A and B are shown apart, each in its own frame.
Chain A
Amino acid sequence: MLASPEIRSLLRRTRRNPLAVVGLAMVGFVLVFSLLLPLVLPFDPNQMNVRNALQPPGPVHLLGTDQFGRDLLARLAHGGIISLQVGFAVTLLSVLVGVGLGALSGFAGGATDAAIMRVMDALMAFPGLLLAIALVAVFGGTMTAIVVALTIVGVPRFARVVRATVMQRKESDYVTAAVALGKRPWKVLFQDILPNCSGPIIVQATLKFPGAILGEAGLSFLGLGLPPPAPSWGRMLQESRAFMEVAPNAAILSGLAIFITVLGFNLLGDGLRDVLDPRSPRSRS
């Protein structure tokens, strides 16, 4: 499917969109920072050294240390891994479940559609973070619980987008033609309808990714994320608040990490949406 003309023209048009390129660069930076940097850093992110606490940036600890003397650069980089893991897992799960439910809803219609969409409406009626807090409070602060909670919050929007797109594609000429040739319904769905829904799904996924990262940061800021000493950005931000006057680097840097990651993925997602929306002037190739 990667070689499909839709995807190829998508990449070509993305390159011409400056904001998307900036977003792509920021995302690239975050990926290198979190995935490659930990391999070369000499510090364990959880190694405490209280005598070395709250150091400003210097030649040994490039970004300084936190209140327990842990290397900030190492903690930020490892925190990036946690954020990316959560973002990736939540996005993947939301896509799988959301596309499944949305496709079933849009394709089957009738009572199935009504049942699925009313459940989605009910989930959407709760404020996202509040629902996630409740779910994590119930399941406990493990990685699985956080991912499941954020997925449950994220699925309804996917289901809606996919349902609407599937309903639209269902009326297209090539779907009528496929039915007229005697194709089975599930084949029509998987060969003719879903591959042609890839645009909106991709956009929704790139927007879900930063949403999930922000969600995890929010949960851990509130003390509901992974338990200490896990270097989650949200918890780092929360803990460093107390020392902001003596050592502002920890607070600023963990905030900046969240900011760059979320902004980068959002810009990329917005750029992709511009490119995929036929009404936008940038979409023309």
Chain B
Amino acid sequence: MTNEISDHTGQGGAATGRGRAPVLSVRDLHVRYRTDDGDVPAVNGVSFDLAARETYAIVGESGCGKSTVALSLLALVPVSAGEVSLGGRNLASMRRSELRRVRGREIAMIFQEPMTSLNPVLTLGHQLVETIRLHQPLDRGAARRRAIEMLERVGISDPARRIGQYPHELSGGMRQRVMIAMALSCNPRILVADEPTTALDVTVQAQILALLDDLRAEFGTGIVLITHDIGVVAEMADRIGVMYAGRLVEEAAAADLFSDPRHPYTRGLLASVPRVDLAPRDGPLVALPGSPPTPGRLPQGCAFRTRCAQAMDVCAKPPPELRGADRMVRCWLHV
């Protein structure tokens, strides 16, 4: 399968390979958390591009650093090295006043826990109107009309009444819709969705994903979707980056990744998910042995080699960098 390596070998993915300029370009992102036991590297050099109207999914286990990547896209955690560039400007080096103009207006975020992501003492209307007026020169009346319009657009019935309600009067799914309405109320070019459906019922999950997909088409918003759920990814991602121990280990178009996973970790992930579209296998689902390494105490060379069934001697050396444009994999099996 290694003979399918793509023709264009752009530099570190600088070209998207899809003929469109990226709206968001992340280069060699590093994030370290300071703890009492010294610095812990959570993200160790992540690079990817997001094109307009595209959904880029980052998939990985708990603790692989994917949520940290999400937060660093809005500089909500201090970026220790690398670039997050948004239309040519590097978010990681912006002053706080510049950041405030970018956050919410050009790049917005929704969170995993809709139950706690809204201020419990303010009405939905109050919060939406505040958000709209942060970045748009509208008076209260106009902002209120826009708020009602946004609530209606995200599928909340009777928005004129709902706008006077408090968050605790809404279900989790409803609150996530409100979060989406707030995030999109200033028409950002990029929406970062950090596990947006993890806390929701399965039926509501599907609705929220469908809504995000609709809104992406309607508003032309690029979405960075962070999830541990391959099923969610299959439903709406255009491209997928698989993350392990603070690094992307494989990146490909969604269809390619599912039909032809190359990194042993990606294969392990896919094999551990039950699928209704395939005939039942012989025997139980395959679980990946072991658990992810502790950040700061990664194995030498490839971080996955201690759990990898195909590990070789060469894996003790740092694995090859991600190369190519359409199909990238960080593994000695594919060089």
Which chain A residues have a beta carbon within 8 Å of chain B's beta carbons? 1, 4-6, 172-174, 176-184, 187, 191-192, 195-196, 198
Q: How many residues on chain B are close to A (CB under 8 Å)? A: 29
Q: How far is the CB of B224 from chain A (nearest CB, A)?
A: 13
Give 14 CB contacts A-B under 8 Å: A4-B121, A173-B113, A174-B116, A174-B120, A176-B117, A177-B117, A177-B118, A180-B74, A180-B103, A182-B100, A182-B102, A184-B100, A191-B122, A196-B120
Q: Which 8 A-B pairs have the closest CB atoms?
A: A182-B104, A182-B103, A181-B104, A173-B116, A173-B117, A195-B121, A180-B109, A182-B100
Chain B 119-153 residues near chain A, CB threshold 8 A: 119-122, 130-131, 134-135
Whether B103 contacts A196 by the Cβ 8 Å rule is no
The residue that A182 contacts in the complex, of B105, B121, B168, with Cβ under 8 A, is B105
Whether B104 contacts A180 by the Cβ 8 Å rule is yes
The residue that A5 contacts in the complex, of B113, B121, B179, with Cβ under 8 A, is B121
Give the tally of cross-chain contacts (CB within 8 A): 70
Instruction: Enumerate chain B residues within 8 angstroms of A181, measured Cβ to Cβ.
Output: 103-104, 108, 131, 134, 182-183
Q: How far is the CB of A97 from chain B (nearest CB, A)?
A: 23
- Say whether B101 faces chain A, with CB atoms less than 8 Å apart: yes
Whether A1 contacts B103 by the Cβ 8 Å rule is no
- Say whether B76 faces chain A, with CB atoms less than 8 Å apart: yes
Given contacts A180-B104, A182-B100, are A173 and B121 in contact (CB under 8 A)? no
Grouping DSSP codes into helix (H, G, I), strand (E, B) and loop, the A interface class, with mixed when no group exceeds half, is helix
Whether A173 contacts B101 by the Cβ 8 Å rule is no
Considering the chains assembled together, what is the distance between the CA atoms of A183 and B182 in angstroms? 13
- Say whether B244 faces chain A, with CB atoms less than 8 Å apart: no
Q: How far is the CB of B334 from chain A (nearest CB, A)?
A: 37
Considering the chains assembled together, what is the distance between the CA atoms of A5 and B167 in angstroms? 10
Q: How far is the CB of B258 from chain A (nearest CB, A)?
A: 31
Whether A5 contacts B168 by the Cβ 8 Å rule is yes
Considering the chains assembled together, what is the distance between the CA atoms of A180 and B119 in angstroms? 14
Given contacts A5-B166, A181-B182, are A176 and B111 in contact (CB under 8 A)? yes
Binary per-residue interface labels of chain B (231-255) against chain A in the complex, 1 for a CB within 8 Å, 0 otherwise: 0000000000000000000000000
Considering the chains assembled together, what is the distance between the CA atoms of A1 and B183 in angstroms? 25
